[in-house]
Amino acid sequence: MAKVDVLDLEGKVLEQMELPAKIFDGEVNLHLIHQMVKYQLAKRRAGTHSTLTRKEVSGTGGKPWRQKGTGRARAGDVKSPIWRHGGVTFGPKPRKYAQKMPKKMRRGALKSALNLKWKEGKLKVVTNLEIAEAKTKVAIGVLGSLEATGKTLLVNDADQPRFLAAVRNIPAARPLRAEGLNVYDIMAHENLLCTKGALEMIIQRLED
């Protein structure tokens, strides 16, 4: 059975946590992860872009000059797309970019992302993230002790105001509640640092 060390905030191993083989089986489906990231980014797009067609542009609908005899090119409408301030041909209109992805595939992508971090040794588990002082210096020291010096996703199972205040000035650290853990954030960070309670919540979410 897969196991992971549970550390204190000084980086010392306190115990080993057994991980369910059903979830942490070492299988990584990169295609599924890629598809999930595209799904998430597509859902974030507002899709509010809009351009005016020739019928929506403000202006007269009259012919600017007579058809023949002027020496100029024929023109029927000042709102033509080839004119300055004219309408736009095939321009973007408001639309939804959201894609469909079955629940089973979404769970499989999250499972693969967790397996990837675990196999790379980038999944770190701590007992809790309670710190004595809400100071950035203290938070940086904790991350250094845990060897989480790169971009780190900090997943907690409870709100801890002192911890949140301490890490908000660290550009490479992003706090996140366990309920909001997602594939995009996991892949966007080098390290995944979870409290033991948060990891238990994630496992339960994938087992249900």
Q: What pLDDT, in 10s, does the model give residues 132-162?
A: 889 999 999 999 999 988 899 999 988 788 8
80 plus 182 within the same structural domain: no
**Mean pLDDT value across residues 161-171:** 90
Domain match, 30 and 53 both: no
Q: What is the mean pLDDT of the chain?
A: 93
Q: Do 71 and 90 sit in the same domain of this protein?
A: yes
For residues 92 and 188, membership in a common domain is answered with no
Across 67-76, 77-86, 106-115, 157-166, least confident range: 157-166
Q: 7-16, 105-114, 158-167, 172-181 — which is least confidently predicted?
A: 158-167
Domain final residue pick, 77, 96, 115: 96
HSE of 20, CA atoms in CB hemisphere, 13 A = 12
Among 76, 96, 116, give the residue marking a domain's end. Answer: 96
Q: How many domains does the chain have?
A: 2
Residue 71 has pLDDT above 80, yes or no: yes
Domain end residue (candidates: 64, 96, 128): 96
- Residue range of the domain that includes 23: 2-45+99-207
What's the confidence (pLDDT) of residue 182? 96
The pLDDT of residue 208 is: 75
User: 160 with 111, same domain?
Assistant: yes
Domain match, 200 and 145 both = yes
CB 174 within 8 A of CB 154: yes
pTM of the predicted structure, to 2 decimals: 0.85
90 and 20 co-located in one domain: no
User: Within this chain, do residues 180 and 112 fall inside the same structural domain, yes or no?
Assistant: yes
CATH number for the domain including 153? Answer: 3.40.1370.10
